[in-house]
Amino acid sequence: DTAVSQTPKYLVTQMGNDKSIKCEQNLGHDTMYWYKQDSKKFLKIMFSYNNKELIINETVPNRFSPKSPDKAHLNLHINSLELGDSAVYFCATGNRADQPQHFGDGTRLSIL
């Protein structure tokens, strides 16, 4: 039973489309995160939710909108996709701010 699962694993779409990525965790953690990994493997924080409340919002275009319907789910909706959005998006969860985070296997987004 996967602790942090993301869907879809792969997403190939045209520029200008709107798409959503979903994340679910069964670890009972309070905090969930979205990270973006670029083609050079550099991972950078995008958003964080704690108990459904947005607590971290990095300088990300407002085309990206996270939503947390409950503590176990965090979704990422992206409007008007651009070529530069091509990357791997990772969901992560953590139980306390001083505890390490656990990652899903990522969603590979390719924009044509």
**C-beta of residue 87 within 8 angstroms of C-beta of residue 64:** no
Residue number with CB closer to another protein (1 or 42) = 42
Give a three-class secondary structure readout of 22-70.
EEEECCCCCEEEEEEECCCCCEEEEEEEECCEEEEECCCCCCEEEEEEE
Between 40 and 84, CB nearer to another protein: 40
Report, in Å, the least distance between residue 90 CB and another protein: 6
Q: Which residues bind another protein (CB under 8 A)?
A: 4, 31, 33, 35, 40-45, 48, 50, 55-56, 58, 90, 92, 94, 96-98, 100-106, 108
